[in-house]
């Protein structure tokens, strides 16, 4: 496929707000791809050159790209900056300059060729790499037509925001087969095991749906993490799943570990598929010493530990280990323990469909005794009173709650289900639990915050049935002056000119600046109330749910679709003792 044709499709998508129309456009593109160019095309659609979990970035700022554009079109840097300021988008500015400089060439570059050049730019490193990257970008721009350079610049800057999610892509793959969404669940199940849309699309092209049915976990490709539902009493838990295993809910970093003894490799992935291996060298070394397997994929919670007192540290101290610099020093100051709680794959065999009780036994046999790794304490119970006692013990220890796990339950990759149930502190009349919310946009500041350019955040929760984000609050508290300024810097990298298609927002909650769903924050509030102006769970009476007096707790390490769901919000609301809904 010619890259110029690909960019025409991107332009169509950019001008489309209808999700269904996006599915049709994407499926048409997919049908026209050859197997050998499919993965590269899908990655570029996502604004990348590799899957999300591969830490391959371009490392080029606006200022550096201005130099590349100036080189390609033989104009002054100031002319490029002027166009950028005029149009508010370096991609459009480059397109305009290309047209003005008579660069209306008919490019014969293929998607495969452009991807190869972009990949080479991203991988360039070492002494003099910045100048090399600038020259490579300039060379690529000179080969392309004006529309194509608009999207190349956005890909390099990581600002290609087309308004569709991975779920939209999955529906498009299904639609490309027989103009229906009948195959969505099969494709989504494969994606949950291998969250690499390029690879999923290539297998679908070559082997069809049957190829995806045969897909198995692979070491070094993360599996989307399972999530639990919530209940608020021992009675509810036993009524729901019967005899079950209880575990304390440890408050640290959830990690998925990919281990290969033959290759002597360990990779640590977070909930949002970030490769965090370099951050936790003590955990990596502990895994190499304590795992009794040729290869394995398993999960655990990394928690700060006080070696003198033998106590786990609060999350506020553990979180200091998440850093890119001074890693070794901080590892000595705050050592980590990895509390292992599930195993998904071992020595060539997938364990995802095995009962939890069987996976637990495999995990216990796999983790050798040692200073860093341990298997989480478990108690099998049959009565609500036993659940209550275990929960109260967790609260006494300063933990936020417990997990109940169905003994015959499979590992539900990428899904929220009743095989795992969270039981956290939530009392009638006051919300003691926290919610993970997505930042959807922000309003400009007033008063002292005028100079910050930000004063309130619009927060939303996820509706998985409709694949959209629905508002639950506007929040203006919980951040210091410095944190407000830092938050604006993060959000301005995600700015879009219009409300994203996946947002359901009442006109009364329109914000000054919309951002793409990327940042998930944990908030605490006094209670959940019904609201006529928020769309989370809005019913036939036109009432949604809202947070009363929300304040920021911390930024979460999650993908936006892993934020609290509408169903969770309703469940917590009911637990407050409000009227039935």
Encode the chain (581 residues) as per-residue pLDDT tens digits: 999 999 999 999 999 988 899 999 999 999 999 999 999 999 999 999 999 999 899 999 999 999 999 999 999 999 999 999 999 899 999 999 999 887 556 678 999 999 999 999 999 999 999 999 999 999 999 999 999 999 999 999 998 888 888 999 999 999 999 999 999 999 999 999 999 999 999 999 999 999 999 999 999 999 999 999 988 889 999 999 999 999 999 889 999 999 999 999 999 999 989 999 999 999 999 999 999 999 999 999 999 988 877 788 888 888 889 888 889 899 999 999 999 999 999 999 999 999 999 999 999 999 999 999 999 999 999 999 999 999 988 887 878 789 999 999 999 999 889 999 999 765 333 566 789 999 999 999 776 677 788 989 999 999 998 899 999 999 988 788 888 989 999 999 899 888 998 999 999 899 999 999 999 999 988 889 899 999 999 987 779 999 988 989 888 888 899 999 999 899 888 877 543 33
Give Cα 528 to chain centroid, integer Å: 25
pLDDT of residue 473: 95
Q: Could you tell me if 275 and 395 lie in one domain?
A: yes
pLDDT of residue 161: 82
Domain boundary among 131, 157, 183: 157
pLDDT of residue 449: 72
DSSP state letter for 580? -
Q: Could you tell me if 525 and 551 lie in one domain?
A: yes
Q: Could you tell me if 402 and 462 lie in one domain?
A: no
Q: What are phi and psi of 164, to 5 degrees?
A: -120, 155
Q: Could you tell me if 458 and 418 lie in one domain?
A: no
> Kind of pairing, strands 434-443 and 513-515?
antiparallel
Q: Which of 259, 276, 243, 241 is nearest to 344 (CA)?
A: 259
pLDDT of residue 235: 94
Domain of 61, CATH number, reads: 1.10.3260.10
> Quick check: is 444 in a domain?
yes
Domain of 256, CATH number, reads: 3.30.470.30
> Quick check: is 250 in a domain?
yes
Q: Could you tell me if 288 and 365 lie in one domain?
A: yes
Q: For residue 532, count other CB atoms closer than 10 A to its CB.
A: 12
Domain of 380, in residue numbers: 227-424
Q: Could you tell me if 405 and 554 lie in one domain?
A: no
> Quick check: is 199 in a domain?
no
- Mapped onto helix, strand or coil, the DSSP state of residue 461 is strand
> Quick check: is 100 in a domain?
yes
User: Residue 280: how many CA atoms within 13 Å on its side-chain side?
Assistant: 34
> Quick check: is 41 in a domain?
no
> Quick check: is 187 in a domain?
no
Q: Could you tell me if 329 and 301 lie in one domain?
A: yes
Q: For residue 363, count other CB atoms closer than 10 A to its CB.
A: 22
Domain boundary among 385, 400, 424: 424
pLDDT of residue 553: 87
- Secondary structure (H, E, C), 380-447: EECCHHHHHHHHHHHHHCCCCEEEEEECCCCCCCCCEEEEEEEEECCECCECCCEEEEEEEEEECCCH
Contact 108, 138 (CB under 8 A): no
> Quick check: is 27 in a domain?
no
> Residue 515, class by beta-carbon neighbours within 10 Å (0-12 exposed, 13-18 middle, 19+ buried)?
buried
Domain of 494, CATH number, reads: 2.40.50.140
Positions marked active-site: 249
> Quick check: is 220 in a domain?
no
Contact 136, 121 (CB under 8 A): yes
Q: Could you tell me if 477 and 536 lie in one domain?
A: yes
Question: How many domains would you assign to the chain?
Answer: 3
Q: Could you tell me if 357 and 469 lie in one domain?
A: no
Residue 169 and residue 175: Cα distance in Å, rounded?
A: 10
Q: Which of 331, 336, 191 is nearest to 254 (CA)?
A: 336
pTM: 0.83
Domain boundary among 140, 157, 174: 157
> Kind of pairing, strands 416-424 and 434-443?
unpaired
Q: Could you tell me if 470 and 410 lie in one domain?
A: no
Q: For residue 347, count other CB atoms closer than 10 A to its CB.
A: 11
Contact 500, 468 (CB under 8 A): no
Q: Could you tell me if 420 and 451 lie in one domain?
A: no
Contact 19, 502 (CB under 8 A): yes
Residue 573 and residue 544: Cα distance in Å, rounded?
A: 11
Q: Could you tell me if 365 and 486 lie in one domain?
A: no
């Amino acid at each position: 496929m010619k890259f110029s044709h690909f960019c025409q499709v991107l332009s169509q998508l950019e001008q489309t707000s209808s999700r269904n129309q996006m599915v049709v456009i994407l499926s048409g593109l997919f049908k026209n791809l050859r197997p050998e160019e499919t993965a590269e095309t899908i990655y570029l659609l996502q604004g990348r050159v590799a899957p999300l979990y591969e830490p391959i970035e371009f490392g080029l700022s606006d200022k550096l790209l201005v130099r590349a554009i100036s080189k390609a079109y033989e104009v002054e840097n100031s002319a490029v900056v002027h166009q950028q300021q005029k149009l508010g988008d370096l991609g459009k500015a480059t397109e305009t300059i290309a047209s003005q400089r008579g660069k209306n060439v008919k490019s014969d570059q293929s998607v495969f060729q452009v991807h190869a050049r972009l990949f080479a730019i991203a991988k360039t490193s070492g002494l003099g790499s910045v100048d090399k990257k600038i020259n490579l970008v300039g060379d690529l721009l000179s080969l392309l037509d004006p529309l194509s350079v608009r999207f190349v610049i956005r890909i390099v800057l990581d600002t290609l925001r087309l308004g569709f999610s991975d779920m939209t892509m999955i529906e498009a793959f299904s639609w490309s087969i027989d103009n229906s969404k009948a195959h969505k669940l099969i494709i989504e199940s494969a994606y949950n095991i291998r969250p690499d849309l390029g690879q999923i699309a290539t297998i679908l092209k070559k082997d069809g749906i049957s190829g995806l049915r045969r897909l198995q976990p692979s070491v070094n490709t993360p599996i989307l993490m399972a999530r639990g539902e919530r209940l608020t009493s021992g009675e509810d838990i036993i009524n729901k799943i019967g005899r079950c295993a209880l575990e304390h809910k440890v408050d640290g970093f959830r990690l998925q570990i990919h281990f290969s003894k033959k290759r002597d490799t360990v990779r640590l992935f977070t909930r949002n598929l970030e490769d965090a291996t370099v951050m936790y060298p003590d955990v990596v070394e502990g895994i190499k010493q304590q795992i009794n397997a040729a290869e394995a994929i398993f999960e655990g919670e990394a928690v700060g530990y006080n070696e003198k007192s033998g106590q786990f540290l609060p999350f506020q101290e553990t979180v200091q280990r998440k850093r890119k610099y001074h890693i070794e020093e901080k590892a000595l100051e705050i050592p980590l323990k990895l509390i292992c709680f599930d195993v998904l794959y071992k020595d060539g065999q997938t364990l995802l469909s095995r009962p939890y009780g069987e996976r637990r036994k495999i995990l216990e046999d796999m983790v050798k005794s040692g200073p860093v790794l341990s298997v989480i304490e478990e108690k099998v119970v049959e009565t609500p009173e036993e659940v209550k006692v275990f929960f109260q013990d967790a609260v006494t220890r300063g933990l936020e709650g417990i997990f109940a796990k169905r003994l015959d339950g499979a590992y539900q990759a990428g899904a929220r289900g009743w095989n795992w149930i969270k039981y956290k502190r939530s009392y009638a009349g006051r919300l003691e639990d926290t919610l993970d919310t997505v930042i959807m946009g922000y309003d400009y500041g007033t008063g002292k915050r005028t100079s910050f350019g930000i004063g309130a955040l619009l927060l939303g929760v996820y509706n998985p049935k409709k694949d959209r984000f629905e508002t639950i609050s506007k929040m203006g508290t919980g951040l210091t002056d410095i944190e407000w300024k830092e938050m604006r810097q993060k959000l301005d990298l995600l700015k879009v000119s219009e409300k994203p298609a996946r947002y359901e927002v009442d006109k009364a909650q329109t914000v000054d600046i919309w951002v793409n769903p990327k940042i998930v924050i944990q908030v605490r509030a006094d209670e959940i109330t019904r609201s006529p102006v928020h769309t989370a769970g809005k019913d036939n009476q036109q009432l949604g749910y809202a947070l009363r007096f929300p304040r920021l707790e911390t930024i979460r390490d999650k993908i936006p679709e892993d934020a609290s769901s509408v169903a969770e919000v309703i469940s917590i609301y009911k637990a407050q003792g409000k009227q039935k809904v």
